[in-house]
Amino acid sequence: MKSVSHHQATQLLHNKFIVVLGDSIMRSVYKDIVMLLQRDKYLTFKQLKSKGEMSFEQDCLVEGGCLGQMHNGTEYREVRQYQSAHYLVRFYFVTRIYSRYMQSILEDFRSGLKPDVVIVNSCVWDISRYYSKWIIDYKENLHQFFEALKEILPEESLTVWNLTMPLGEGIRGGFLVPEIEHKASHLRFDVIEANFYSGTLADAYGMDVLDLHFQFRFSLQHRTRDGVHWNAIAHRRITSLLLQHVAQAWGVIMLCPMTAVGGFHVRTNCSYPYATNTFSSAMDQLRSRGSFYNGGYSEEFSSDALPFNFMNFQENNLQPQTNHNEAAAPYSRQQNRNGIEYKHPHHSEPYNELQHQSVMRSRHSRNHYAPYTHQRPKQYDRHGRYY
């Protein structure tokens, strides 16, 4: 699978506000996005395992975490934010898809800056920590969350609902307190059922759906020994899937030329998202040469031994459509400016939903615009409070 590079990510998310909502896996999704916006590097074992720290890669802890009491209860809070001159990325730790706390988050969106991209998932805590018969409660909360989000966010905002990744047969983790250990044996089946409900409802509400359960069903070697969390390679793949989906929704074409991966030349086909198995083939070639292999569900993250340029396609040209301003090129023609081609979103290649109905869905193209460039008259302190 082709990977999104640091250069592509910085151009795609330039002047964008990204919000990530969810549990510890979504926190790692946030961290990987923050890392990729700064450099082509993978998260370390310590970075993936840490929670509630004061700072991660120049971000700041806004609320909760080590500022309060660290615990594994449903009331645990953690709000993180990475802010620079052209990027704003925020993470909220949530244990339930709709609650009083979620309502307060939505109020932040209503009264403050509207996010351009919302990446959200909430499932494992919902179906294990609140009610034994979780189906009715979970579906009702999903309805309320999607309705509120649709009401608050403008049409241009892109919401991507991530389906929960596969759980292991024997799981352990922070959310699995002694009171619910009896649920561990069948929780992986409950996740599949919950994914069906949440994916169907998200699609009905016009949200975009990314099926990470499907994407990682044959990548279980990248799951850690606790049966819940995933390593740095898996999280970079999640980031690539998300950014490729965002690019499609905005009508942005990201070219992936031939590049060297571990001494082998690999060509990716960007006109078809899953036409080549670059990720699997490169792994097989590296294994055969003894460059990298971690065959079991080890505690260590296998990315620590990975070559630096693995899955990173350097010198890729990003081709976003024009912004809606006076300097924009007319939609009726293409214009090459500093190596960037501007193109009307309706002329970009659409996602082939007929061949991948259960994998990824994009309801319609969103306008590519800079939402808060003119709302920032001065440079904010990088570690200042969020706004």
Give the confidence band of 165 by pLDDT, cuts at 50, 70, 90. very high
In a domain, 268, yes or no: no
Residue 159 contacts residue 208 (beta carbons within 8 Å):
yes
pTM: 0.70
Residue 78 contacts residue 91 (beta carbons within 8 Å):
yes
Residue 64: per-residue pLDDT: 96
**pLDDT score of 308 more than 80:** no
369 class by beta-carbon count within 10 Å (0-12 exposed, 13-18 middle, 19+ buried): middle
**pLDDT score of 239 more than 60:** yes
Residue 273 DSSP code: T
Give the confidence band of 381 by pLDDT, cuts at 50, 70, 90. very low
Q: What range defines the domain where residue 52 resides?
A: 6-252+350-375
Find the range with the poorest average confidence among 92-101, 260-269, 362-371. Answer: 260-269
**pLDDT score of 259 more than 80:** no
Three-state DSSP string of 325-356: CCCCCCCCCCEEECCEEECCHHHCCCCCCCCC
In a domain, 278, yes or no: no
Residue 231 contacts residue 303 (beta carbons within 8 Å):
yes
Structural domain count of the chain = 1
Residue 223 DSSP code: B
**pLDDT score of 7 more than 80:** yes
In a domain, 263, yes or no: no
E-strand stretches of 181-325: 208-210, 253-254, 259-261, 264-266, 318-319
- Pull the structure tokens for residue 257: 């030329």
Residue 243, CA distances (Å) to 6, 40, 252, 302, 363 in order: 11, 15, 10, 23, 16
Mean pLDDT across the chain, nearest whole number? 75
In a domain, 258, yes or no: no
Residue 347 contacts residue 252 (beta carbons within 8 Å):
no
Mark 199-238 as b/e (b = at least 16 C-beta within 10 Å). bebbeebebbbbbbbbbbeebebbbbebbbbbbbbbbbbb
**pLDDT score of 387 more than 70:** no
Give the confidence band of 254 by pLDDT, cuts at 50, 70, 90. confident
Strands 335-337 and 253-254: unpaired
Residue 185: per-residue pLDDT: 77
- Pull the structure tokens for residue 220: 């279980």
In a domain, 305, yes or no: no
Q: What is the mean pLDDT of residues 228-250?
A: 95
**pLDDT score of 8 more than 90:** yes
User: Which has the higher per-residue pLDDT, 202 or 299?
Assistant: 202
**pLDDT score of 287 more than 90:** no
**pLDDT score of 356 more than 90:** no
Beta bridge partners of 223: 230
In a domain, 341, yes or no: no
**pLDDT score of 221 more than 50:** yes
- Pull the structure tokens for residue 22: 């969810």
In a domain, 264, yes or no: no
DSSP assignment string, 178-201? GGGGGGTTTHHHHHHHHHHHHHHH
Q: What is the mean pLDDT of residues 35-54?
A: 95
Cα separation, 108 vs 110, in Å, equals 5
CATH of the domain at 219: 3.40.50.1110
Residue 174: per-residue pLDDT: 66
* Per-residue pLDDT reduced to its tens digit, 206-217: 999 999 999 999
Residue 321 contacts residue 342 (beta carbons within 8 Å):
yes
User: Which has the higher per-residue pLDDT, 12 or 360?
Assistant: 12
Q: What is the mean pLDDT of residues 56-74?
A: 93
Give backbone dihedrals phi and psi of 140, rounded to 5 degrees, phi first: -65, -40
Cα separation, 386 vs 79, in Å, equals 10
The percent of residues above 90 in pLDDT, for the chain, comes to 55
Cα separation, 36 vs 39, in Å, equals 5
In a domain, 285, yes or no: no
**pLDDT score of 29 more than 70:** yes
Residue 284: per-residue pLDDT: 53
The residues near 78 (Cβ < 8 Å, ≥ 6 apart) are 27, 51, 52, 61, 63, 64, 65, 91, 92, 93
Residue 305, CA distances (Å) to 155, 226, 252, 286, 310 in order: 43, 20, 33, 12, 11
